[in-house]
A and B are shown apart, each in its own frame.
Chain A
Amino acid sequence: MKTRVTVTLKTGVLDPQGKAIEGALNSLGIKGIVSVRQGKVFDIELEGAEPETARAVLTAASEKLLANTVVENYRVELL
């Protein structure tokens, strides 16, 4: 089963990389961008096709490794 976990910074956490990207987009002449925050996408292939099992596995993976829950949130999608 194909799945995706998206990890993003919690609101209020300083993201200097996002700011740097914002500045670069502006320099490129791409207007209208209010803010950019950078996150991570993990495309994870699971064996089996049971949605509940899949969510449990991905939640465990996210809580234990993929996200640092001090400063990051995560979102699980079954594709």
Chain B
Amino acid sequence: MKFTAFLTISFFIRVNGEVGPQETNLTHREPVTTPKETVLSSIDVTGTIKDENGEPVAGASILVKGSTVGTSSDAAGNFNLQLSQQKVVLVISSIGFETREVTVSTSDPVHVVLIKKGDINEEIVVVGFGTQKKVDVTGSIATVSGDKLTQGINQSAAHALQGRASGVTVIQNSGEPGAGVEIRIRGAGSINDNSPLYVVDGIISGGIGNLNPADIESVSVLKDAASASIYGSRGANGVVIVTTKKGRRDQKTSVSFNTSQGIQQAWRMPTALTAEERNIIHKEALTNDGTPTSDPIWDYYNNPDNAVTRTDWFKEVLKPAYISNYDLAVRGGSSRSNYSFSLGYLNNDGIVMNSNFKRYNIRFNSQHEIAKNLTLGENISVVLSRQKTAEMRGSYTGVLSSAAFNMRNIPVWQDEEAGIYGTPSGDFPNPVASLNARDNVNKGANLGGNVYLEYKFLGMFTAKSDIAYNWGFSKGKGFTALAPGGGRGLTENSLSESYSTGSTWIWNNTLSFDKTFGRHHVAALAGMSAEEGISEWFNSGTAKNFSNQDKALRYFSNAGAFPDHPNGSADDYTLQAYFGRVIYEYDGKYLFAANIRRDGSSKFAPAKRWGTFPSVSAGWRISKEKFFDGVADVISDLKIRGSWGQLGNDKISNYQFFSTISSVGSPTLNGAQFAAVAQNRLANNTIKWEFTTQTDLGIDISFLSNRLSFTADYYNKETSDILVQVPLLSSYGVGVAPYRNAGTVSNKGFEVSATYRSTATKKFNYEVTASVATVENKLKSLGVAGAKEIFVSDYKNTFVGRTSEGEAIGHFYVLDALGIFQSQSEIDSYKNKDGVVIQPNAVPGDVKFADRDGDGSISAKDRFNAGNSFPRFTYALNVAAGYEGFDFSMLWSGSQGNKIFNGLKLGGMFMQGTGYNNGPEIMDRWTPSNTNTSVPRVTVKDLNSNRTYSTLYIEDGSYLRMKYLTLGYTFGDHLIGKGISKLRAFVTFQNLITITKYTGFDPEVGADLGSSNNMYGVDRGAYPQAKAYIIGVNFNF
């Protein structure tokens, strides 16, 4: 049973909105003093009532306080009232808004802005193709407001979501600037791609990794099938809906400017053996292996010069790094239009020397009522990015591996003036040389936007047509300079470039209906969507022999040799869908909704192309029943709800039902390269949609006038016909396995969250939210005849992971290390039932492995499920408080009970050979005088195969990390200069404290990219997260 638990406690204070002239604002729920009423001659009072967004509020009640005189506003929000008194108090109320009292003493027009109730009963939730009142929602939806996403400096909206919504896991793959994250909703449904669908301002988007967190108004996460099924085709892994900030109607232009500046450093500095320690270990290994002292290999260790520690490679490559961001936004609106314009700039130096990420975001949107009931609007976004990467993951060129395994007696420079580096003794390069020599820059430009036209008619219908287009360009350029003495990979210069352009258009057309007939509320939606995307790429191949390596000359024209030939191709897809939704509510008590969507995808052969995805949901607001009145003082709201639905997944590469011939390198024939092709992938024309069926039962209950509220959900999600590439035997002679529909995975769990909000007082406000979620993930069947398991995650050519029937997806599959043999007699007596000595090659100090199959020897058959990377629970703790001008907040995020395969132990805890340094844990190796240890004796020959992957590589990956700690102060009016309406200064600490027993670089290991999409927790030497100290200011003008 795997649990994911999730806990958020948050305190927050509300911040006032802007108040225009002629307007009165009653955000503070302060009692309004009733002025003395004086009878004077009668006057005519006119006015308008609008909401915060400048939309007219129709049907609002306007009552003279203490009388029955009153009226209500018309459709345009206007009212007219004859008063017999000249100074009265008007009480203005409307469902869903805070009731306001306005003192009227002249006949000047009264403009009243009603503020939507902060009451959870009136919270609006963004759902697929629309919005819904939270109380009417029958599915399971988590929402995160934009202000939660701008704490600290986050590279993107996706990064900022970590710890913010229950059942939503954000996995950081790397601390490298510009690196992406993975978002998982309710576990892993597929053995295939588990990432959710992203929808930004109504348009399906490739991801939110480049979205500026400062531009976000809110994020809705649709977790259950009924909520997501309007996006049926690709909603199986949940849907993340992002709404960006907009201007408001009748809003005076507001300008805000925020900046944060910070310093980052490695949260923990890794270490490796000093030269003296290395000598102890290596000499001991040579002695253990019986290497005669006459062997010249000893000369190296006997040379006193080699015992001098000259370099701390980690300190050479991990340096403090600067990070800054700037956001400027201008928003406003007239009575018929509103607009928003924002600029963002992020400059993030990496803690690994010479790595950097810069991004410029520009976003513009506006809405115009171009004719009565006809609205035209658009969103435009431009993103430019530049990423300078460090070589991190290469198995022999990775910078951190090189820092770990290079000898520390080697200097960074052998002769700095002559530009000659200290030469490594093994085949890892000098990491400083590698970082200096590799000039790898990725540049990206993305231009996207949509234009829509919305027409409201007959008071109940809305027709909307929305067309979106996105164009992206990316370029990668990698130059490796010759670095004399730098070691492997740095002995010659080379250049390669790659380009890709991609464009997508999506056209959505919807017709919606919304009408209340007495106690019946009916809403319906019908729509269609068409989408087409194409990407084209080009790869130059490698050019070599640059006679001059000057930065200005790193272009192809200056290369001397072109051993590779370029390649390039294109990829395109189309998708078409029809969908509908009906919602029916009776008296706000009984809630029903049904969705259906039919999708066609170009990824499947014509006969398998279309899939239909239905869902239904229902809710009952018990608290609205008469019999509930008696407890209404205690329980202010109670709703139970349930949903069932089916969703699809087509996230596989294009053209998988075609068998193709592709380019496969260029052999040398007749002395020259010769173009070669082959069938490198097998086709499967029977593949079809992957299906997920999910049932969700939920309850929402609140107490104490909604100050304390709980939400609980139970879900059962079963994914079948999973699209998966079952690894193919090499004897098929192809490099890529075909996709097939195989397997069934189930995810079940609970999610409970609770919120407590303090009674608002002027001085001190807070809010507490706590939530807990569990996931039980299980592969029910693999669906492949005769196959019960798939091996995954190849680390140095051996699988370390396995997915098998009846167990969670992707567990570690290694030998069981029972301990260290302490004596020869222990080795001799370690026999199987037939009396066979199991480890005859062992000597005291070697690892004792479990012979699980009892055959009398240690082999691959003895591997077992040694745990997995699913946490028992992950948790987050969000504390924030405000006292007068001060605000304080912090977010703790942690993971408990997950395991990590620490690949660096291969060279850290075991000898990789005499050419490499080792990690500090090897100092605790077994010796006849140090027997109480789990680290085996040191040996290069390793006749007992101590190094074989075993539980010695598996570590507890639990951690608790303080993601943010912020202390801010908002200056009072007296301190604010002319034109500044708000000034706040703050300090933020990011990743300040990390508590973990994990010994690798960082416990946030992430997905095993490039090897297996569904194996997590395989640490190949990930780029560690940075600790950051940030100061910043927010200005509003």
Partners in one complex: no
Spell out A's residues near B (CB within 8 Å).
none
